[in-house]
Each structure stands twice: as C-alpha cells, then as structure tokens.
Structure 1
Amino acid sequence: MKLQRIAIREFRQFGGQLVIDDLQPGLNLFIGPNEAGKSTIAEAVRAVFLERYKASHLKDLLPWGLASGQPSVDVSFELDGLACRLSKQFVSRQRCELRIGQSVFTEDEAEDKLAALLGFSRAARGPMKAENAGVPGLLWVQQGGTQELRDSTGHAAQYLRDALTQLSGGRESAGEDALIAAVQRELRQLLTARTQKSTGPLAEAEQKLAALSASRDELQQQRQQFDDNIRRLTEQQEAFDDAERRRPWELHDQKATLAQQRAAAVVELERGLQGLAQSLRVGEAELAVSVQQEQGALELEAAVAREREQLDAARAELAAAQSAHAQAERGVTQFEQASAAANRALELANAAVSAADLRGQLDIYRADSERLDASIGDAEKANAAVLQAARDAAALEIDGAQLKRLVALDGELTVLRARTEAAMTRIEYRLNGELSVGDQTISGAGVLRIDEEKRIGLGALGELRVIPGVSDLSAQLSELSALEAQHAQLLRALGVTSTGAAQARHEQWKTLVAQQQSHAKILAVHAPQGIDALRAALASTAARLQAASARLASLPDVSDALPLDEARRHADLARDALEAARKVLAQAAAAQSTGVAKADSLAAQLQRKEAQLSDDAYRRNRAQWQAHIVEQRVKVDALKNQRGERERELDAARLDDPAAEAKRYRASAELARNEQHERQLRIAQLRSQLETMGASGLGERLAALDAQLEQATRRKDELSLRASALSLLDEVLVDERDAALAQLRAPLTERLGHYLKRIFPQSSLALGDDLSPAMLDRDGRAELLDALSFGTREQLGILTRFAYADLLQASGRPTLLMLDDAAVHTDAARRDALKRALLDAATRHQILVFTCHPELWDDLGVRQRAVADLKVA
C-alpha cells in the first residue's frame, strides 16, 4: 500500500485546505515546530481509514472557531498495483466513497471493505477503540506512544498469527487453547492471573479463617485484660490512699507563696535600673551629637586642602588634552583622502572579477543547452513506450480481489467435496437379481452412495432402512451447491473459463505493468520533472545566456585593474587607518570635555567649602559644641557608676529566680491534684470493666470459636490443594502449546533479529503469547521490557514495528508505517543505528515520519517537507 496524495479540508487547525502530493513510495519526512500541525496530518490519515464517517463523536474534528465546518479527508493510494481513492466527510453531510480500480464502494460497504483490506475491525458504535485498531493501530504510532507496544500488538495478534501461519506452514490448534482457557478459568476462580493471590472461594475461606483467628485472639486478649485489670485496680487503690494521707499539693502551695514575694522585690529593682539606663542613653546621645559636629568641622578643613591639590592637577591635564585634540584632527583629514583613492581602485578590481565570472557562465550555459536538447529527444522516445505498455496492460487487467476470491473458492470447494464424499454412506453391492432402493431399481455390481434416508426392498425377506451417520450432510450439500454457484459466477465476471486461465491472464498483466514501470523509470531518468520541464529549462538557459552577454558588454575597461586581493587589502588598510584616526580623535575630544568639566566642578566645590569655614556664625557654633562635649562626658560617667551598683544588687536578688520557683511550685501542686483525680477516675473505670467482662462468658465463647476455626482450616486446605493441582496442569498445557508455537513464530523471530542486531548485537527478543516483545536477552542477561529505560523501550518499539511490517508484507497484506515524533529519547549513536534500520525498512514499505527536530534527521538523503510550507502552498 502506497499513499500518493492527501487532501485535508476544514480539519481541526487546518481551517482551509491542505494538500500533500508527490508522496514517495519509501521514506517521507515532515518537519515543523510544536503545534505546527504534524500530529493533525497523522490524525487525518487515521480518521479517514479507521473512523466511521457517520460517528457523532467526531465534532472535535471541526476547525477552531468554525462551528459550521465540514471536515473532510481525501487520500489517493496504490494497492496491489491498482489505483485507489478514499474520500470521507464528517460531522455534517457525511459521506464515504472508496474506489479500487474500476470498482466503487460507498457508505458502510466501503468501510467494511477498508477493514478487510487493512486488517482492523469496526466499532459497533462510538469512537474507534484501541482493541478494534488491528494492524493500523500497531503500525501507525501516535505521538508519545512509541514505547507502548504490548496493547497494540495484542489487538493485532490475530492478524499477525494469520500471517505467520501462511509464512511458516505451521498451524495453531484451537483445541489446546480451549483446554488451557478452561483450566485457567477454573484456576482464576481460586487464584488471580498476575499476582497468584487468592480469590473467589479460596479468598473467602482464607478471609473467614483469618476472621475467626482474629476473633479468638481478641477473646484471649480480653481474658488477659481481665486479669491485668484486677492487678491494676489493686495498685491504683493503694496509691490513692497513700496520696490522701500525705496531701503533697498543700506543701507546694506554701512554697509558691514565699517565692512570689521574692519575685515582687526583684521587679522593683528592675524598674529602678531601667530608669538609670534611660538617662544614660539620653546623655550618650547628646554627647554623640556634639562629637559628630566637631568631627565634621575637622573633615571639612582636610577636604579643602585636598581639593586645592586636585584642582591644580586637573588644570594641567586639561592643557595636555587640548593639544592632543588638535593633532588628531589633522591626522583624520590625511587618512580620509587615502581611503577614497583605495576604494576607487577596489571598484575597478571587482569589475574585472565580474567580467571573468560572466565569461565562465557563458561557457556553462552553452553546454547546458546542448545537454537539454539531447535529453528532450530521449525522453520523448521513453514516453511513447510508456503509453504503449499502459494500453496493453489495460486490455488484460483483471480484478485482483475477485481473483483472490476465486482461488479461495477453489480451495474451499476441494475441501468441501472431500468432506461431503466422506460423509455419505457408501454401500458396495454385487447382485444376482434386482433390489428396489427408494424409487429406483438396482442390479449387477456397483457402489451406492446414500446422502439421505433410503428404504431397500428385499422382497419376501422384508426391507432395510439405511440412515446416513452424519446428521448435517444435507447442510453440507447445500453449502457445496452454493459455493459452486459462486465459483461459476466469478468465472463469468472475470471473463475466463477456469481458475488457471484467470491466474495466467493476471500474470500477463503484471508483466506488462512491470514493463510500463521500467519504461517510466527510463523516462524519469531523462525527465524527472517531465518533458515540458526540460523544454522550460532549455528556454531559461537561453535567456540566461543572452542576459550574461549583455552584462559583460556593460562593464568598463578593466585592463589597468589591480588584482582583487591586492586592491581589497589596500582598501582594508586605508579603512582601518581611517577608523583608528577617528577613534583617536573621539578619545581626544572626550578627554578635553572631561578635563573642562572636572576643573570647573573642583573650582566650584573648593570655593563653597572655603566660604563655609570662614563664616562667623559657623565659628561661634563650633566653640559652643566643644564646651558641651566636656560637660556631657562628666555626666555620662556618673550615670554609668550608678547603673553598675544597681545591676550588682539585681544579680544578687535574681540568683535563685524566685518567679520561676513560684511557677514551678504552683505547677507541682496542680499536677499532684490532677494525678489524684485521675487515679480516682481509673479506679471507677476498672471496676466498671471488671463487672462487664465477668458477666460475658469468655470461656464458652472461646470453645465455640476453636471448633469453627478447625472447620475453616479444613475448607481452606482443600481449596489450596485444588488450586495447586490446577496451576500444575496449566503449566504443563502451556509448555506443550508453546513448543507447537515455536515453529509458528520462526519468521517473526528472524525479522526481529534482522533489525535488533543494529542496536543490540548478540542479543535476542523473546515474544509473549500475543506475539508482543516480552524480554530482551543481551550479553547473557535477560531483562523484562518494563525494567528497561524509556529510551530503550522506545527504540525496541520502532524496530519491532519494522519486523511486523515485513511479516505482514510477506504474507500479502498492505503495510504503511507512520511515526509521530519517534526516537526523541535516543542518544546520537543509537539514533544513527535507527536511521539505518529506517532506511532499510523504507526499501520495502512506505513510511511517514513527523518530527519537530529537523536537525537530527537531515542526513537521511530525503527531502524534508515543512508543514508551514504546505500550509502556504
């Protein structure tokens, strides 16, 4: 199966029409960023082949913001050498049409035909489910699903088994599977499939046994609790009586009162200390203000002296910058004149190079014209041969599907005739006289075949009633008659007299088609884009030849031109020198401006600070704060001495922390009261529990539970023994069936090894019952697929699908592979190996690859088709 054209209209993000034609029979690569529409194209192909055109759930196919749209997809493809076309429109005005050669199918008939051709089943209602997707669900990989292989393989397992049966010559026996299924059904009533945990009657027996054991343990605990409660009641009563005699909480209350009095005295001392500290902070703040003012005056005097020196230095730097600026202006003028002369010489050298290039182009155009003339002649001859082969093949074309049906009917008729012959009752006779059999008379020797109840008259001896032993013989005869009628009708429809004649005619047609394709390849070699394209190329070459001649004539005289490299070197040197001179001038101008601004700024600052120092008010204020500094220092020292004496008194009073002691004693008194109250409550609770448990009959209940527990144990052991026997029988039957399936799986195993060795040399892949990969064996170590990394499972998913496609194609089934953003979790080395496998598979199958990483796939030797370009087209 080879897609040739895809047309998508009003489908999700494609509000208009998107057409993809010129699809190659091998690898086709589509690129674009996320949300460019790659997955939408893949989904359109899936929808047109798999989804029911009348399904009501497909409203999500409507284009964004276009509620009244009519999503439609039209694909053209080739199947077994026949041109096919499929068109579907969804949501509103639904329609479906399938053309295969000259045959046309519509509506449900078309969808049934698609399912039979591609190997999937139609959902009864609703959306296409994974279990119905069959072969397309296996080979058409959606985004992010490359590593998920088990479910899709299971849904396509029957189609794969049919292909394996056809290729290996083996057969599957439904009897073993039916017996295994029956044993497993019985076993599943006792044990689960995956974890082998108990279920059904066995789980109920185990749960009942566990519940009875728990009840017995609970009663035994209750008996133990009864004994423990008696002992605890005695201990609690003795402790309660002792506390009532000592009354420790009253002693703790007296100690708390004394400690609270000492804590009040400490609080008074702390309050006096805080007052002294506040006075000290005020005095120190006033002193700091005066000291800061004096420090500012000293710093101002130092700044005046320092800025006088800086102003002298700035004026000297300004004079040097003005001299450098004048010299730089003279240098720029000289280099501008030299650069203009070098540029004129460079333009003349470029004209000389252009003239040489035009002379070379003229030679090339003349050679191209001669080559295109020869190619047009060869292409016209090949085109005539293609048309003649096409006419001859059309005269012999035969419907491939009807031919396959005719061959299948031949096989069915042979088997049914043999079964009918064997089912009839056969009587050999040698008679000297005559006998009546039903309505006819027989004599002599011969064979009598009886397909229904007959009466044989024996004259005076009576009669015999013969009844065939096969009860459905009449049904077999009816089926045989119906098949013979279908066989004759197919022969008439194909216009042949026998199956052999039809096959011979089909072989002649395939030979002519091959000749047509051979001539078409020759035509493609001479004219890949068609003969008209060659003629257009010839005209274009002639136009270029004329244009190049005109350009050569328009160029100036270049006889005195310097070599281009020398002229370019002189121009570059002149330009670099000019740029350097301009930079020097800019730096000199910047230095001159900076010098002027710096000198003016320093002069203004120095004048302002000298005026501040010489102000009379400033001098009087300075004398006042110098006197205030001396007074405040004396006051601060006195306050510090008073604070030290008060801190020593407070430390002595705080030594034993009277407030904490008062709190501790009050808490101890409260704890003692609460503990006594809790003892009283526990004594009442224990007495109540003992009275209740003493009247419940614990001994009798324990004896009854022991009897029930013994009965439940026997029931559980019986079911466990049955489960073990069924498990053993299941293992034996599965081993026998697997041995029979080994021959059946040989073709698939061979194809898997062909691809697997590209990434994992010296390795093998074990298959499950559903033909899905189950375990990878490499370097002597077996690993389950679920234990492998995400990237490794993704790579195995791609290679395995290539092997499935080879298997299906070898058995005559159509194949098409679609990979949407596959191998994104693959390193560079393995990606190269995957690319080689992809190119290998593309020689046998058509493959559509969608990726948002074009830079990783640009070495495949195929054209990358950007989705954005398709939208614009």
Structure 2
Amino acid sequence: MILQSLRIEQLRQFRNPFVLGNLQPGLNLIHGPNESGKSTLVRAIRAAFFERYRSTAVDDLRPWGDSAAAPTVALEFENQGELWRLTKSFLQRKRCDLTIGTSSFSEDEAEEKLAELLGYQYPKRGASKAEHWGIPGLLWVEQGTGQDLEQSVEHAGDHLKSALNSLVGEVASSGGDEVIEAVRAQRNHILTGTGKPRGEYLQLDKDRLAFEQTIGELKERILRYQEQVDRLGKLTREYERTEVERPWEDAQRLLDEAQARFQQVLQLEQVQAQEKATLDQLQQSRRLLEQNKEYQENLSRQLAARKLDLDKAEADLQRLELQSPATTERLRAAREAYESAEQRMKQARLREARSRLEQDVKRLEQRAQQLSQNLAKAGEYQQQVENARQQARENRIDAAEVKRLKVAEHQLNEATIRSSAIATRFSWNLEPERSITLNDDALQNRGEQQLLDESRVVIPGVGTLGITPGGESLASTRRKLATLQQTVSELRASLGVDSVTSAENRLSDFEKAERAQQHAQELLKSVAPAGIDPLVVEQREAKRELENATEKLATTPNSDTSIDVPDLATAEAAFEQTASALTAAESDDQKHRTALMAVQQTRDTAKAEWQRLVDQEQSPERQQQLKQIAEELVAIEQKTKALEERLEARSREILEARPDLLKQDIERYQSTIRNLRQTQEDRGRELRDIKVRLEAWGAEGLDEQLNEQEAELERCNRRYQELHRRAQALELLLTLLTEKRQALTRRLQAPLQRHLDHYLSVLFPHATLEVDEHLRPGTFTRGAELGQVTELSFGAREQMGLISRLAYADLLREAGRPTLVILDDTLVHSDEERLDDMKRILFDAATRHQILLFTCHPEKWQDLGVPPVDIQALKA
C-alpha cells in the first residue's frame, strides 16, 4: 500500500484546503515546529480509516469556534497496482465515497472495504478506540506511545495469526486443544497451577502430617513417662536422706557466731566515730583561736593602712572641688547653644511646610484642570461610541449568512449558465399584427426563449404544438436551479436585502461601525480607563483636595524674618550637633557630681574606720583577750594529743577483726541456709508433681492411643500414594501434550522471529528477543543479562517497540497484506549512537514499506537520505 496524497479541509487548524502530496513509496520525512499540524495530519489519516462518517463523536476534528464546519479528508493510495481514492466528510456534511479503479462504493459499503483491506474494525457506537484499530493500530505510532506494544499486538493478534497461517499453513488448529484441556481439568482437580496438592490430595497430605505429629507426640510422652518413674525414685532417696541430716542447722550455728563477732566490731566503730568527732571539734576551736590571735596582732598594720586611705581620699576630694566651676560653665554654654539651634530649626521647618503647601496647591490646580479636560474629552468619545453602536445596530448582518448568499448566488449563476447551454431554444419571427401563445403568454414580432420544462405553443388558426425538452441532465439541472433560486430567495429574505451587493455593502458598513466603535472605546479608555463616573468622582475629589490645601496654606504663618534662618537640612544638622554637645556636657556634669559624691563617701568611710581602729588598739580589753587566747591554745593541744593516741590503738583493733570478711561470712551463711531449705522444698514439690503426673498418664492409656494412630497413618498413606501416582501421571501427560503444542506454536512464530532477529542484530548484536505464544516480544537476552522487554529503560523500550512493529510489517508484506508505517515524533528518548542504528533500520525497512516519519526536530534526521517536507512551506 503506497499513500500518494492527503488533502484535508475544515479540520482543526486547517480551515482552508491543505494538500500533502508527492509522497514517495519509501521513506518520507515530514517536519514542522510544535502546533504546526503534524499530529493533525496523523489524526486526519486515522479518522479517514477508523471513524464512521456518520459518527457524532468526532468533535475534536472541528476547527476551533466553527460549529458549521464539515471536516473533510481525501486520500489517494495504490494497492496491488490499483488506485484507491477515498473522500470522507464528517459532522455537517456526512459522506464517504471510495473509488477502486473503475469501481465506486459509498457510505457503509466503502468503509467495510477499507476495514477489510487494512485489517481493523469499526465500533458499534461512539468514537473508535485502540481495541478496534487492528493492524493500523500496530503500525501507526502516535506521539509518546512508541514504547507501549502489548495492547496493540493483542488487538492485532487475530490478523497477525491469519497472516502467519497463510505463510506456514494451518498448524495452529485447535484439534488437540480439547484433549489438553481435558487432561488439564483432571490434573487441576488434584493439583494447583504451581503443582501443589489440592482437594482430597491436599487434605490427605495434611492428615498424614497430623498423624505423624500425633504419633511422635505420643512416643515422646511415653518416653517422658518412663523418665519420670526413674526420676521419682532418685528424688525420694535424696529427700529422705536430707530430712535426716538437716544440714541447714549447722549453717545456722555458724551464722550466729559470725553475727556476734560483727556486733562487737560495730560497737568499736561507733566509739571510734564519736572520738573522731570530738577531735574535729578541738581542731576547729584551735583554728578559731589562732585566727583571733592573728587578727589582734594585725590591728596595728590595719591602722597604718587606714591612715594612708584617709589621706588619699581627702586629696581626691580637694581636686574634684576645684574642677566644679568649669564643668558648670560648659553645661550652661551648651544649653544656650541648644536652645538657639532649636529656634532656628523650628523656623526652617515652618518655611519648608509653607513651601510644600504652595507646591501642593499648584500641583492640585494642574490636576483638576487636566481632569476637567479629560472629562470633556470622555463625553465626546462616549458620544462617538454611542453613534458607532447605533450605526452597528442599524447595519447588523451575519457575515456567514452573507457568505452563504454569495456562494448560493454564484452557484445559481453557474446553474443558470449551464441551463442556458443545455435548454431547448425557442425562437420566433412573426408577421406584423400576428401573434402566437407560449404557455399562455402572447408572443409577437420576433424573439427567443430557453425552455427547461414541457411547453405548449398555440398558433391561432393552425393548432397547438407541444415542446418537451429532452435529457436526464436537463431535469436534474431544472431541479437544482429551482432549489438554488429558493435558497437565494430565503437567504435574501432572512438578511433583508435584495442582492449580494447590498448585503456586502451592509456588511461593510457594519464592520466599519464596529471598527469605529472599537476606536472610540479605545480613545475613551485612554482618558477614562475606569469609565466616566469614576472620572467625575476623581475630579470632585481633586477639587476637594485643592480647597483643603488652599485653606491649610492660608492658615500657615510665615517664618520670622528677624531671625537668620538657614535651610532645613542645615538647621537640622546644627540642631543635632548642639543636642549632641548638650548631651555630652550633661553627661560630664553628671559624672563629675557622681565622682564628687563618691569621693566624699570614701573620705567619710576611711575616717570612721581609722578612728575605730585607733580606739580598739588602745583598749584594755584587747590585752586581756590576747592572754586568754594563749592559755586556751595550750589546753587544746594537750587534749588533742591524748585523743589521737586512743584513736590509733582502736583503729588497729578494728583492722585486726576484719569486719569486711565477717560481713561476707554472714551473707554466705544466710544464702546457704536459704538454698538448703529451698532445695528440700523443691524436692518435696517435684515429688508431689511427678506422682500426680504419673497417675494421670497411667489413666490415659498411651500405648493404646499409639497403636490406633499408627493404624490410621497406614490407611492414610495408602490413599495418598494412590493419588500421588495419579497426579504425577497427569502432570507428565500434560507436559508432553503442552510441549507438542509449543513445538507447533514455535513453527508458527518462526517467520516473525526471523524478521525480528534481522532488525535486532543491528541494534543489539549477539542479543536475542523471544516471541511468546501471543506473538508479543517477551524475554530479552544479551550476554549474561536476562529479563523482560518491559524491564528495559524507556528509550530502549521505545526502540524495541519500533523494530518489533517493523518486523510485523515485514511479516504482513510477506503474507501479501498491505502495510503503511506512520511514526509521529518517535525515538525522542534515544541517545546519539542508538539513533544512528535506528536510522539504518528505518532506511532498510523503507525498501519494503512506505514510512511516514513526522518530527519537530529535522536536524536529527538530516542524514536519513531523503528530502524533507516542510509543513510550514506547504501552508505558505
């Protein structure tokens, strides 16, 4: 199948006729930028084949905003030496016509011919979907779907298998399927799909395990029963022997002796702690006495130091008192400078405020004047808008209806001309004062008329002549002429015009009025963007602001001319400088007064301390206190020495008694007593438990239970082995039948695998791609790598999808089926090296198939070896 040309009209962005012609039998590279119409051309081809001409679900073909459009697609293609011409219109003018050589088909018959040729089907209702597209859905790749192959192969599966059967013969017959299904049904009754037991087979397997577990548990319980009998005899002997020996009583005696020795050591440690506390008190008293003695001895040194401090404080006070007058004078001068600068700054601000108000008044006067002018212009432009709107209302007319009237009158003129050419001409040349009658109309002198209908000529005194114009085309022309005359009359009446010229003049006046209205609205918007009413409000607000500013200016006084007032910036800078100087002077004065008060306080404190030390040094109580301290120090030294000797002797006695070992002995004997008593109690408790347990087990009849369970296990094993052998036999039989069936399937897949390997060797040398029983690419192997095609990267899946489609196309061509490959912006995710390999594959496939490659990146395909077709250039 070779597509030669494509013509579309009133379809999406192609409102005017667009022709894509001179298509080559091999590779065709068609390019254009985004939104240039590439996908629209692909959609047009799909609609021509897939969509029913009478479908109402093709609104996406309609040009935007044109509800009266009739999207039309016309195709010419060659198939097996015959030229096929297809024309299909949708929506407003639903029509389908197909010409094959000299044969013509229309409507549903034409669509069925196309579906039969290419191998697809139509939906019963609604828009065509992927499940209906068959072979074209496999070979025509939409933008962004190149990697999605499984669904397309599934929808085209029947057609592909039909092509394979025509090549290798009918090897895929279903004659053995019933046997395989029967064996599979019996096998599935016993086994699951993964070969696991099910039903009775599964239950027997579970019962066997349950019986084996129960038998194991019974044997273990019998063994434990025997072990418990032996344990009972051993425990009885140990319990009786221990009750006679009573070893915990010896441990209790040793514990009492250790506790008595430990109490003696504790009493020694208590006495030792008391005497250590007494020693600490004596040492503390000695330190206090020594500190008091040292204080009394240091009193003279302190008196000399206090005298020096007093002299220094009086000198500092005299120095600060001499600095006070200068500090006070600096503060007074700074305060006067600050007040003068503050006055000048106030006058400068007053003058600045009045100047600003004068400028505001002037600005507001200009703004009020401008708003008044804009308001006047807005009224003028508003009147122009109303005049233009009135003119548009008076001349309003439907441009589409005018176009229809023009087309109808043109067709009427053409039909009139054609009718004149084929009508029967009746001419007469009568003697003066002679007349005849033609269809009840009197004719005299000479003349000529064209007759389209059957007519009657009456010749007075002679008779009647009948004239019948002949030819089927004349009757058709007469009917068409009457229809066109009726259409023209109806259109003129609906538009209220008497001719096309008056309609066009009226349409011109209407369009001129609309342009005038738009121009006036733009002028109005330039002076009143929000409308006239807001402009009036804005003018009123401007006048009110002007009045307020004028009133405020009148109430603002002028600056004092008697003062030399600088500009505001200079005045503010001078004010800030004097404020800083005043702050510094105030700070210095405050620091001086603070320092003076501090020195006075220091002098007073030093004088009081010096006087106190003088009085204290000369008092008789100090002499008596020094004598008493010396006597107390001698007494404390004697007591301390005697106490230290006793502490040392008692420490040796405590150390020799080893209280740490005595404490450990107490803990060891206590633990021994507890363990011995607990062990004997545990033996008695275990003896009672074993007796109760043995009595219970003896009543259960464990040996009888074991014999019964072993018999049940034997019966279950016999039935399980029977079903096991049957399952293995069915599994083997099903495997043999399936392998035979798969061998036939592989024979069916061989032609497709051959074409697929041809392309795969270019893209992935030494790799293999297996086809499953549904003819879909499945396992991909490359070296040690093994996986599914769906696990590859996006770009690799897109490449594998394209070479698989080309292999399907080769298979269909080999089977004598028509092929056409359409690629819309494919391979966009391929790297440079893989893209070069894909170009070689496409060039090779183009020797056997026609390929239409649509792209928005022509620079990537410039080495494809074919001249590119520019959609933009065709549009121009």
**TM-score after normalising by structure 1:** 0.41
Larger radius of gyration: 2
